[in-house]
Structure 1
């Protein structure tokens, strides 16, 4: 018995030295966080069921940034918008984009060849994977949205109506509807209910159904890119393995993430009917009983959007949201960030897809500076952005995107020193239109309001 206890004690001591590693020189303030227990850290107090609650508690206790030890993982929690935006700054971009190696990525995704699991997040390969998905989504985005609305109105809603108020198993009906939407996204074809899942998945992975020059869905887009590389004698980027990875990733996002989010949304509405009434009243008031609702209308429905954001915040199906890890020991906004710490970074591909419904995009609080080149900020089908970066201070800034084909030029003559304002001139139907974007800092004094008034008066005059 004694030798067993000594063996266990020896293993614990060895683990302590292994996880502690060599002593390093701090490059900034030590990130605060719970102490935990030796070797295991907070592993026994944080689990998949209480992650959101524990992380919220840590944010209240430790502030804008804190770190949590989970065995040999160092998880850095960014709890403020300021620090989350800072991760996308050019000085950190090279170091905060990598992924940790996972069994699923290595064994199922051909060595982590998908967009989400690609280990080197700051390289041409990852950039092309990300942009390829965004372009494929844009090519048939409108038809996909119409099909989703049709599925909801003429398929899912009618199946619920025929239940006539009786109890029914909702999740299976939702899952079948999402499967049909996924099949449409991949193949461009609408399937009937009598097509079982196996037939659907067999067809959209069948390369023989591809017809060169005809893009019906995501799969055809990737095959078209593959064919173009072959015909041009270039190295094939979207290999068969990478195409399969994109299919698996899209399937997982629809059948796991989307399905889980919608199911949890209905679970919330069933248990809190007051929110049902609030959402229904808002939709009825804005669109009426027969009005058409599009994805772009979400900004008109703040109550619905707020409810859905809360569901996303509390949904614990993937508590760490495929976080990034930093590839080196570095200083981050005054804090010491150990090598291989887990961190988060916003995704620009969401913006690339959502922006296609608009001709002009105006952004404030861009946090851009001279170290960030406009070539890294390009959006498909838009001209390079007009920029007014905030000088000598972190934060602020204005950026304006104008769709290609629209004649636009910046009006530098309207700029006012000390004010974050960006004006530009459009020519539409032979008429000149002046538009602008202005950033107002939260600590603005009376002088700022006078400059703002002067700036607005200039274009009018």
Structure 2
């Protein structure tokens, strides 16, 4: 009995020591001072969070806890920055302190090398430099992009006219347009609205999105990467990852191989040709290309996924706005009619003539805020933000959804009110106006989205040229237009709607 009692006492003492150790350690953790909801041991707040509605839950928390808050996912603390000031301090004022990325197991399995999700490194900096260089060299840049988009819009108009009075799903139309633009930019050829290659691009992208969605059940593999080795527990998830990896690799590599066979340095086509030229000319100290095919596949997959997912959601939201507010549609059309003849093509340089259109574009981006928390950041060293100390390796989210819908800044933030971006003379408010400063949808600082200007250009040219030629009407039931009810799936996802196009006289 004495021996059993001794063992019991030793175990109790060891347990008491461990409890004391972790308690004292938690007291010393600077994140302890950051406010946030209480959670359960080990699980944290995971049981109270709904992945499909997390943007609204974090919004309500922001109203309660203020500019900086903390949540725990499986016991791991995540810091959330809810104010514009705190976000900009982290993204710009602290230099590179918050420019890391947390490891995302599933994404790295499907796209091993990429610009968007990789951590700060020489390789990441090199990939971003090459990506930007190709964008600037392409055509050069926006000028050639506009020609590509105008050609695609003309093809799209022909396709709409051929359908006559037949209604079209807004999602189908959006994907067709965006895929055509992206395919032309990437591969340098002209594609029709319903080209088979565009369908392949969409299918590959859909598989990648489904396999890596951070708001799906598979996110547990990102939160606890060691579980990835227990494949019998996640058979369906592993099948999706393997299938997406194979589809993406096969599709992208086949395009690379075809482009290499027909490559002509005197006749450059799309961005892929510029990447191939870099592959030939940018050589490392070891005599090997700085940009190998694995890296190239990652760049092209980033190009495809980022461009397609954001633009198609924007266009889906635009149709909802026009159908919910016929007055807005008439105002934009009247502005277009006052500046252009019916047969005149509207170009990017014409944006200054359309302040109402520009104001709507700003309001559209603010209202939708389709990337509610931006891409996750991670502290690469011990640092601080808004007076709180943040240890290295802490995951940090920028709550751009709250920033863009902050009722202390925006009157009726969950209504679409383009006039908020116009002054008393009907002109667009200045760039440094507080209302324009409170939008961080494309990020800021060193990791700001490099495709911002291309995304805005795609949306503007589509909207202006479609409204110039058509009245847009709903077919059947009109879904709600309330961003608070949109589900999270990679990004906020507006519902699709059937649209009928009537040629304007």
Q: Matched residues in 2 for 1:327 and 1:192: separation? A: 45
Q: Matched residues in 2 for 1:233 and 1:179: separation? A: 38
Q: Matched residues in 2 for 1:293 and 1:212: separation? A: 32
Q: Matched residues in 2 for 1:296 and 1:76: separation? A: 41
1:52 pairs with one of 40, 47, 55: 55
Q: Matched residues in 1 for 2:200 and 2:263: separation? A: 16
Q: Matched residues in 2 for 1:19 and 1:71: separation? A: 16
Structure with the higher helix share, 1 or 2: 2
Which residue does 1:88 correspond to in 2? 91
Q: Deviations over 1:127-151 (max 9, x none)?
A: 2222221221122221111211231
TM-aligned CA deviation for residue 185 of structure 1:
0.8
Q: Matched residues in 2 for 1:29 and 1:45: separation? A: 20
Which residue does 2:6 correspond to in 1? none
The answer to whether structure 1 residue 257 and structure 2 residue 258 are counterparts is no
Aligned length: 332
Q: Matched residues in 1 for 2:272 and 2:398: separation? A: 28
Aligned CA RMSD, in angstroms, stands at 3.8
Q: Matched residues in 2 for 1:48 and 1:299: separation? A: 40
Moved more, 279-288 or 174-183: 279-288
Which residue does 2:135 correspond to in 1? 137
TM-aligned CA deviation for residue 32 of structure 1:
2.3
Q: Matched residues in 2 for 1:335 and 1:194: separation? A: 53
Which residue does 2:218 correspond to in 1? none
Q: TM-score, normalised by structure 2?
A: 0.56
Q: Matched residues in 2 for 1:19 and 1:283: separation? A: 65
2:46 is paired with a residue whose SS is coil
Q: Deviations over 1:262-291 (max 9, x none)?
A: 223223332333332333334334545445
2:91 is paired with a residue whose SS is coil
- Do the aligned partners of 2:148 and 2:181 also contact (CA within 8 Å) in 1? yes
Q: Deviations over 1:222-280 (max 9, x none)?
A: 11111113499744211111001011111112222222222232233323333323333
1:50 is paired with a residue whose SS is helix
- Do the aligned partners of 1:29 and 1:335 also contact (CA within 8 Å) in 2? no
**Using a 3 Å threshold, how does the CA distance of structure 1 residues 286 and 87 change in structure 2: closer, same or farther?**
farther
Higher RCO structure (Cα 8 Å, ≥6 apart) = 2
Moved more, 220-229 or 335-344: 335-344
For structure 2, the 5+ residue unaligned runs are 1-18, 202-250, 400-430, 435-445, 451-505
**Using a 3 Å threshold, how does the CA distance of structure 1 residues 21 and 303 change in structure 2: closer, same or farther?**
farther
1:67 is paired with a residue whose SS is strand
Q: 1:184-203, aligned counterparts within 5 Å?
A: 184-192=184-192, 195-197=195-197
Which residue does 2:177 correspond to in 1? 177
Q: Matched residues in 2 for 1:125 and 1:214: separation? A: 29
Q: Matched residues in 2 for 1:21 and 1:242: separation? A: 45
Q: Matched residues in 1 for 2:396 and 2:321: separation? A: 29
Which residue does 1:150 correspond to in 2? 151
Q: Matched residues in 2 for 1:296 and 1:58: separation? A: 42
- Do the aligned partners of 2:146 and 2:348 also contact (CA within 8 Å) in 1? yes
Structure with the higher strand share, 1 or 2: 1
Q: Deviations over 1:127-185 (max 9, x none)?
A: 22222212211222211112112312x12233223444432334323322322211111
- Do the aligned partners of 1:28 and 1:331 also contact (CA within 8 Å) in 2? no
2:183 is paired with a residue whose SS is helix
Moved more, 320-329 or 30-39: 30-39
- Do the aligned partners of 1:279 and 1:303 also contact (CA within 8 Å) in 2? yes
